Chain A
Amino acid sequence: MRSENAMNANDQWKQNTSDPLGLGGLDIIEPDYDGWQQIESALVSHQKHRQWQRVGGWLAVAASLVLVLGISLRNTGNEPSMQLHGDGFATQSTETASLDVKDNINALIGLSQNMEEQVKKLRQKTGSMPAESAIYVAELEDLIAQVDHELSLEPNSVDLWGQRVNLMLDLAWLYQQQWQIDYGHMASL
């Protein structure tokens, strides 16, 4: 009982020194508005923006990969010149070169498939396009169809797979630009 009194006195003393005027006893001020809708829309556009930043980052990675593949392909193309040094060595270098080409084709096919999915998602999320962009998209899609036709005749052509990936990158870039315009309009509302 005594210690309880002492504690109460202590609490009272603390209360008096930290809030001597009793400001903490003032009522909570109830807001007369509901700001959730505004907050939600701000958060949703923030999330979308971050998603697209990630897509942009992914595209940059894909572009870098294409560049690296291009350089490695160019180096692979130089390999057969080593045949001059002798028969045994020449055979070995040709085998290495053909293995590299196969790896590169597989990498390009994988990249092309990923780009395909990425473009599909971008197409779904992007709103209507201005006529000029729509024409450009149609041209790119025609070119992709043409490359696909050539690939059906020559499926192991590194050049053709490289072209396909580059065209897909162009298409994705176009959709992303359109989305950024849409996003800008939305943010300004």
Chain B
Amino acid sequence: MTLDELTLAAARRGDMRACERIYRKFHAQAFTVAVRICNSRELAQDVTQEAFISAFKRLKQYRGDSPFWGWLRRVVVNHAISALRKLPRHDAYELEDHMSPQQGDQTAMGNCMDLEQALVQLCDEDRMVVWLHDVEGYKHHEIAAMVGKTESYSKTRLNRARKKLRELISETDTLLPRKVGLNANA
């Protein structure tokens, strides 16, 4: 997803319409990254808002030598990591209602939902690392720098997250026929 130079130049000058165009274009993507890292729609909403405000204020710092989304995503990720750090520990493991497993939903949503459910069951750090590495394409050293840890921390978290996800998915796969069977009998 690219951003045209005119919109970017206008936004840099403080043109609100241009800023709004940028917001509309990247809002869903930014929100998705924030939800995947924070595991909470409410927190992700705050993170996304703060990230956009911060990005627009610092727009002159974007030099244009890399895709705009890459720069904006970095701002969102930094805000999300910072928001996670501020959370009391117990909140981090709470599951969101819209993402928590519900009986019967799995058949309709298919494997994608299985993965979705498995993802929300990971602990914050594992989920963040696996998402940043596997989906957003960050390297271990970049993740390590963002969270203020070592590369081996990132590698360990990634392996653990992938292993856990595989286990969770295979558990779901073995449970699924039984649920379908029960529904069929009813």
- A42 contacts across to B, CB distance below 8 A: 53
Q: Pick from A18, A27, A29, A33 the residue with the most CB of B within 10 Å.
A: A29
Interface residues of A in 3-28 (CB under 8 A from B): 18-28
Q: Are B20's CB and A36's CB within 8 A?
A: yes
**A44 contacts which chain B residues (CB < 8 A)?**
16
Q: Across the two chains, which residue of chain B brings its CB closest to A46?
A: B57
A78 vs B24: C-alpha distance in the bound complex, in angstroms?
67
**Complex contacts, A47 vs chain B, CB 8 Å:** 14
* B32 nearest CB across to chain A (Å): 5
B53 contacts A39, C-beta separation under 8 Å:
yes
- A28 close to B52 (CB less than 8 A): no
Cβ 8 A contact of A23, one of B16, B29, B130: B130
| Cβ of A43 under 8 Å from chain B | yes
Q: Give per-residue flags for B52-63: 1 if the beta carbon is below 8 A from chain A beta carbons, else 0.
A: 110011000000
Interface centre among A19, A35, A39, A44 (most CB of B within 10 A): A39
Q: Are A38 and B45 in contact (CB under 8 A)?
A: no
Quote the shortest CB–CB distance from A18 to chain B (angstroms): 6
**A187 shortest CB reach to chain B, Å:** 13
Q: Kindly list chain A residues whose C-beta atoms are within 8 Å of the C-beta of B16.
A: 40, 43-44
Choose from B49, B130, B135, B166 the contact partner of A35 (Cβ within 8 Å).
B49
Interchain CB contact under 8 A, A28 and B162: no
Residues of A within 8 A of B32 (CB): 28-29
The answer, yes or no, to whether B35 is at the interface (CB within 8 Å) is yes
Size bracket of the A interface? 20 to 34
| Interface assignment of A130: CB less than 8 Å from any CB of chain B | no
Known contacts A31-B45, A47-B14; is-contact A23 B31 (Cβ 8 Å): no
B residues near A36, Cβ cutoff 8 Å: 20, 23-24
Residues of chain A within 8 A (CB-CB) of B45 are: 31, 33, 35
Which residue of chain B lies nearest to A33 when distances are taken between CB atoms in the complex?
B45
The answer to whether the Cβ of B186 comes within 8 Å of any Cβ in the partner chain is no
Known A20-B162, A36-B20, A36-B23; judge A25-B112 contact (CB<8 A): yes
* Cβ 8 A contact of A30, one of B19, B28, B112, B115: B28
B177 near A: Cβ within 8 Å? no
Cα distance A23–B132 in the bound complex, in angstroms: 11
Contacting residue for A31 out of B28, B115, B134, CB 8 A: B28
Say how far B45's CB is from chain A's closest CB, in angstroms.
Answer: 6
Minimum CB–CB distance from B52 to chain A (whole Å) comes to: 5
B residues 15-70 near A (Cβ < 8 Å) are 16, 19-20, 23-24, 27-29, 31-32, 35-36, 41, 45, 48-49, 52-53, 56-57
- Cross-chain contact of B49 among A25, A27, A38 (Cβ < 8 A): A38
Contact B135 A39 (CB under 8 A): no
Contact B135 A40, beta carbon cutoff 8 Å: no
Which residues does chain B contribute within 8 Å of A30, judged by CB atoms?
28, 31
B23 adjacent to A19 (CB under 8 Å):
no
Distance of A27 Cα from B20 Cα, bound (Å)? 24
Does B104 interact with chain A (Cβ within 8 Å)? Answer: no
Q: Which of A27, A28, A31, A33 contacts B112 (CB 8 A)?
A: A27
* Across the A-B interface, the 3 shortest Cβ-Cβ residue pairs: A19-B134, A31-B31, A29-B32
Query: Can you list 15 residue pairs at the A/B interface with Cβ under 8 Å?
Result: A20-B162, A21-B115, A22-B115, A23-B131, A28-B32, A30-B31, A31-B28, A33-B45, A35-B23, A35-B49, A40-B19, A40-B20, A42-B53, A44-B16, A47-B14
